[in-house]
Amino acid sequence: MARPSLPAVICRDCALYHTARVLGLESPDCSQLDAMVIRNRPVARGEALYAAGDPVRYLYLVHSGACILHDGRDPQQVTGFFLPGEIVGFEDLDAEIHGFSAHALQAGSLCLLDLTGLDQLPAERLIGVQRYLLKAAAAHARLLQRERLITGLPSAEQRIAAFLLGLAKRFQAHGLPSNSFRLPMSREEIASYLGLAPETVIRTLKKLAGRGLVSVRARQIQIHDPSALERLLAA
Amino acid sequence: MPSNKVISLDKIQISCQSCGLNNICLPLGLEDRDIERLDAIVQRNRPLRRGNYLFQTGDPFKSVFVVKTGTVKTYTQCPDGSEQVIGFHLPGEVIGLDGIELGKYICSAKALETSAICEVPFHKLEALTATIPNLQHQMFRLLSREISNDTSLMTLLGKSTAEERLAAFLLSLSMRLHSRGFSATEFNLSMSRQEIGSYLGLALETVSRLFTHFQEEGILKVNRKYVEILDLERLYGLLSHQTICLEKLRAP
């Protein structure tokens, strides 16, 4: 049983596991994928996955913990968060070097898929892997599209509500508790991502808590009334 | 003026082999022989008129589409029922690929002006990828680029001033048109001020005010939809140095 503070996806729910299957390697521990996959590599809090300017080589699947993406030109600007079951690195795949930088927000573990290894695969297997990665990329595009709607919302209250609901949905999509979770990111990081002032984020969370929609204790969030939050968005 | 409202049928029926867009579209990186096979499955339908749909959110995912001429807008609905513009797609840009995950389209696509479209039925495309691995690789690249653009856009929306957003938008259009052989400094905006506002997270009045402001500053000449960039340097200068990776904003 994973510690509640560190939710982890089970391998069966993991994109790389399915990649392993299409590769024809049924073994659930992915051990035969050694050439292409680095499995369950531990990362420390704050550790860099890649920095802007690094060559593009891996896709990183978050097994446990969470990651954060920053704009390469402006290290203060947060452009994305990645939760267990999600893949980091799609945004730079059409380039040779990374334009963004990614870090672990907390201690956790990652599985790495070495893209340079793809070329060595026989064509019939390559097709399967690429097909799977294509779907995973499409899933990420869809996530970005949903996140995009958040920044379009007019009020801070709506953005925060949508942000929390978005996290809940993403946890739920990978079989993790979705009504009670720990925010892997700081208030400042949320503020940067949503284009709000940090004080506004703090004040708005208090306001939502005051109305009984959520409970907030440090980074622990409990959503009491998801449908009331949804209604806020449509107001 | 670069935009030509009359579309000749000959131009639409042009094959992938001789299409000027084949260096940014699906055929990129394919052998001539494979481009021919791709060409054989492309359907070149009658042009869409302004306001016609390519597909709507939730429609079954059957084809990917490439803009041949014209402009297509993709959008979704906000929780409050208003429209959120996702993107504006210029010639050579592929639309609908992100429907592959769920087997249905995740946004709606509508022509902003008379537009010729190449339709590629997905089951045929998929059959082709079995023997042309590069084709699938190119689809993956196109999707990655979309992700890259959307991630950059989150940066732009996360912090930039209204002025920077509109400057970045105009520069992105300018570069994309230029890379397709059109003028980088004179073009027709096929989208309304309202749609630009939706895309950039700005109010309609702000967009209109900024166009006027840019014009007063001598940066632009604007006449309704027609835009002439008089001072490209100053438009670049409006972007705060670290704001955005502009090369990232540039779709294919």
Are B112 and B199 in the same domain?
A: no
Chain B interface disruption, residue of A140, A159, A163, most B CBs within 10 A = A140
Within chain A, all domains assigned CATH 1.10.10.10 are found at 152-234
Task: Assign domain A152-234 to its CATH architecture.
Answer: Orthogonal Bundle (1.10)
Chain B interface disruption, residue of A145, A146, A227, A230, most B CBs within 10 A = A145
Instruction: Nearest by CB to B151, from A80, A123, A139: name it.
Output: A80
Instruction: Nearest by CB to A93, from B80, B144, B158: name it.
Output: B144
Residue B152 is assigned to a structural domain of this protein: no
Chain B interface disruption, residue of A77, A185, A192, most B CBs within 10 A = A77
| Interfacial A residues in 46-75 facing B (CB < 8 Å) | 69, 71-74
**pLDDT computed for residue A234 by the predictor:** 83
Q: Is the pLDDT of residue B150 over 80?
A: yes
Euclidean distance between CA atoms B155 and A111, whole angstroms: 27
Angle at A132 between CA A79 and CA A94, to 5 degrees: 45
For residues B35 and B54, is the Cβ–Cβ distance under 8 A?
A: no
**pLDDT computed for residue B10 by the predictor:** 64
Euclidean distance between CA atoms B146 and A137, whole angstroms: 10
Are B123 and B54 in the same domain?
A: yes
Q: Name which of A1, A59, A4 is nearest A171 in CA terms.
A: A4
Interchain pair B80, A99: CB under 8 A: no
ipTM summary value: 0.82
Q: How far is CA B124 from the centre of its chain?
A: 24
Supply the mean pLDDT for chain A. 85
**pLDDT computed for residue B190 by the predictor:** 94
**pLDDT computed for residue A198 by the predictor:** 95
Provide mean pLDDT across the span B41-56.
Answer: 94
Please write the tens of the pLDDT for every residue from B208-241: 999 999 999 999 999 989 999 999 999 988 887 5
Euclidean distance between CA atoms B177 and A207, whole angstroms: 46
Q: Is the pLDDT of residue B3 over 50?
A: no
Q: Superfamily assignment of A11-149 in CATH?
A: Jelly Rolls (2.60.120.10)
- Counted across chains A and B, CB pairs separated by less than 8 A come out at 143
Are B34 and B108 in the same domain?
A: yes
Q: Is the pLDDT of residue A149 over 90?
A: no
Q: Is the pLDDT of residue A30 over 80?
A: no
Provide mean pLDDT across the span B65-70.
Answer: 94
Distances, alpha carbon A70 to alpha carbons A88, A95, B223, in Å: 12, 17, 38
Domain count, chain B: 2
Provide the 3-class DSSP secondary structure of residue B84: strand
Interchain pair B133, A127: CB under 8 A: yes
Please write the tens of the pLDDT for every residue from A166-180: 999 999 988 889 999
Comparing A5-9, A161-165, B242-246, which segment has the lowest mean pLDDT?
B242-246
**pLDDT computed for residue A73 by the predictor:** 79
User: What residues make up the domain containing B52?
Assistant: 9-135
CATH assignment at residue B223: 1.10.10.10
Supply the mean pLDDT for chain B. 87
Please write the tens of the pLDDT for every residue from A90-104: 988 888 899 899 999
Share of chain B above pLDDT 90, in %: 55
Euclidean distance between CA atoms B165 and B31, whole angstroms: 40
Euclidean distance between CA atoms B60 and A75, whole angstroms: 40
Are B165 and B128 in the same domain?
A: no
Euclidean distance between CA atoms B133 and B219, whole angstroms: 46
Compare A2 and A46 and report the one with higher pLDDT: A46
Q: Is the pLDDT of residue A32 over 60?
A: no
Provide mean pLDDT across the span A140-156.
Answer: 87
Provide the 3-class DSSP secondary structure of residue B86: strand
Residue B146 is assigned to a structural domain of this protein: no
A101 vs B: CB within 8 A: no
Q: A149 CA to chain B: closest CA distance, Å?
A: 7
Residue B207 is assigned to a structural domain of this protein: yes
Q: Name which of A148, A163, A129, A147 is nearest A59 in CA terms.
A: A129
User: How would residue A3 be classed by pLDDT, with cut points 50, 70 and 90?
Assistant: very low
Q: Which residue has the tokens 């893209």?
A: A115
Comparing A117-131, B99-113, B137-151, which segment has the lowest mean pLDDT?
A117-131
A151 to chain B: which residues are within 8 Å by CB? 154, 157-158, 201
Q: How far is CA B182 from the centre of its chain?
A: 14
**pLDDT computed for residue A28 by the predictor:** 46
Interchain pair A71, B245: CB under 8 A: yes
Provide the 3-class DSSP secondary structure of residue B97: helix
Q: Is the pLDDT of residue B145 over 90?
A: no
Comparing A33-37, A218-222, B176-180, which segment has the lowest mean pLDDT?
A33-37
Euclidean distance between CA atoms B230 and A27, whole angstroms: 62
Provide mean pLDDT across the span B62-71.
Answer: 95
Domain end call among B135, B169, B201: B135
B101 to chain A: which residues are within 8 Å by CB? 135-136, 138-139, 142
Within chain A, all domains assigned CATH 2.60.120.10 are found at 11-149
Distances, alpha carbon B235 to alpha carbons A115, B1, B46, B164, B215, in Å: 38, 21, 38, 9, 11
Are B112 and B180 in the same domain?
A: no
Per the structure block, which two tokens stand in for B250?
A: 């540039």
Euclidean distance between CA atoms B211 and A232, whole angstroms: 33
Interchain pair A148, B140: CB under 8 A: no
Residue B148 is assigned to a structural domain of this protein: no
Provide the 3-class DSSP secondary structure of residue B145: helix
**pLDDT computed for residue A114 by the predictor:** 86
* Minimum Cα–Cα distance from B137: chain A residue: A130
Interchain pair A94, B145: CB under 8 A: yes
Please write the tens of the pLDDT for every residue from A48-59: 999 999 999 999
User: How would residue B180 be classed by pLDDT, with cut points 50, 70 and 90?
Assistant: confident
3-state secondary structure chain A: CCCCCCCECCHHHCHHHHHHHHCCCCCCCCHHHCCCEEEEEEECCCCEEECCCCECCEEEEEEECCEEEEECCCCCCEEEEECCCCEECHHHCCCCECCEEEEECCCEEEEEEEHHHHHHCCHHHHHHHHHHHHHHHHHHHHHHHHHHHHHCCCCHHHHHHHHHHHHHHHHHHCCCCCCEEECCCCHHHHHHHHCCCHHHHHHHHHHHHHCCCEEEECCEEEECCHHHHHHHHHC
A97 vs B: CB within 8 A: no
Q: Is the pLDDT of residue B151 over 60?
A: yes
Provide mean pLDDT across the span A59-87.
Answer: 90
Share of chain A above pLDDT 70, in %: 85
Q: B146 CA to chain A: closest CA distance, Å?
A: 7
Q: Is the pLDDT of residue B15 over 70?
A: yes
Euclidean distance between CA atoms B5 and B249, whole angstroms: 27
User: How would residue A29 be classed by pLDDT, with cut points 50, 70 and 90?
Assistant: very low
Angle at A166 between CA A6 and CA A70, to 5 degrees: 70
Share of chain A above pLDDT 90, in %: 51
Please write the tens of the pLDDT for every residue from B191-211: 999 999 999 989 999 999 999
